[in-house]
Structure 1
Amino acid sequence: MKKDKPKYRIIIDAAVTVIAENGYHQAQVSKIAKQAGVADGTIYLYFKNKEDILISVFEEKMSLFTDKLMEILETEMPASDKLKFMIENHFDVLSADRHLSIVTQLELRQSNHDLRMKINGVLKEYLVLLDVILKEGMESGEFDQDMDIRLARQMVFGTMDETITTWVMNDHKYDLVRLAPKVHRMLMKGMRA
């Protein structure tokens, strides 16, 4: 499988850097190839086109969030703690990779409709895992049992997303990770029974 090959990962990481530094529309395949240290043609052994690169970047990097969230879900702890660790991980991942934060918060949003639909398909897996936390909390009585789960999901993800976008728009000038407990506390106030 192509995804197991080292060059695939090198190209993915190069694409994150080039897209973050140049913007998606200015990120030519040749720039990505140069950043990856491969010939232009090598890119096409792994990807159909630039759109395929962006979707692959999102799929690959989204696993940093979903894999950790699956680990969190398997632990024996209250749903509120699982939510806290989810928020912390989300902020940790993006704080540790500023280029990735620019790509996820800014560049993915400028894409065309078809691309957005493919990206939303990848994001859906993460949101389904968030729903598991919300349902657990409702069943245990930690969260309001009459809560609208769809609205709660939008509130949680939207709050995290907007907090990160604001941090990116402010050139990463403050410590994003330090905001995680505050975000968690505010969300909990809105969802407690």
Structure 2
Amino acid sequence: MAVGRLQKFEGILDAAVKVFAERGYRGSQISRIAKEAGVADGTIYLYFKNKEDILVSLFRERLGALIGKFEYAVRASKTAEEALRLICELHFAELERHPLLAHVTQIELRQSAFELRKEIGKTLKPYLLLIEGVLLRGIADGAFRPEIDVKLSRQLIFGAMDEAVSSWLLSERKYALAAQVDGTVDFFCARCGPEVDAQNERPFFPSPQ
């Protein structure tokens, strides 16, 4: 996409975030997004098929950019637990910096139609696979127990972060979202890390049932 077109595309997405957050997805019109973006109504249709396409594209583009940051952090991390912590830090920091985007991803998505949520859910797959890779790395390194259900655990980790952001929004952002990182990560690691033999004070790995 040429620079000018890319800038207009990004501008429309930014405008959509603001309009969706202020008016709700269902209460938003293409004309309002166009006005916020400073373009003609018809220009929107040069980039998007409809309002649903704007919302899906918003998730795909914003989440795609975030996943790129996650991948870099994971590559730079020394342990699986550190990688998991960095993912959580970035997740919370990004949404805390962009509260309107957080509102759209956490509140408006839940009020959209099932088919639309399903389509947006596809954009989450790379994120879940990234978390899954961290879990497998932790199992291989002995940081996480070998019998944990990796696919379930990746959902639980994402769900924990997702719920933490929703609770932060519902509290009207009265506390720092970044302050929830340690509690979120430690909760998981305490349950999926190696069990400790209290007598000998060393980790041990129970055999899978």
Which TM-score bucket, shorter chain as reference?
over 0.9
Which deviations, in whole Å up to 9, do the C-alpha atoms of 1:111-153 show, x marking residues without a partner? 1122111111100111001100000001100011111112211
Which deviations, in whole Å up to 9, do the C-alpha atoms of 1:34-67 show, x marking residues without a partner? 1111111111110000000000111111023211
Cross-structure match for 1:168: 169
Higher helix share: 1
Deviation for aligned residue 1:73:
2.3
**Residues 16, 103 of structure 1: 8 Å contact kept:** yes
Instruction: For 1:1-193, list aligned pairs within 5 A.
Output: 1=1, 5-193=6-194
**Residues 70, 129 of structure 1: 8 Å contact kept:** yes
Paired-residue identity, %: 41
2:146 maps to amino acid: Q
TM-score by length of 2: 0.89
Greater gyration radius = 2
Task: Give, in whole Å, the separation in 1 of the partners of 2:6 and 2:29.
Answer: 22
Deviation for aligned residue 1:154:
1.8
Deviation for aligned residue 1:72:
1.7
Pairwise CA RMSD of aligned residues?
1.3
2:44 maps to amino acid: I
**Greater RCO (CA < 8 Å, at least 6 residues apart):** 1
The runs of at least 4 consecutive aligned structure 1 residues that moved more than 6 Å come to none
TM-score by length of 1: 0.96
1:34 maps to amino acid: K
The number of residues matched between the two structures is 193
Where does the alignment leave 5 or more consecutive residues of structure 2 unmatched? 195-209
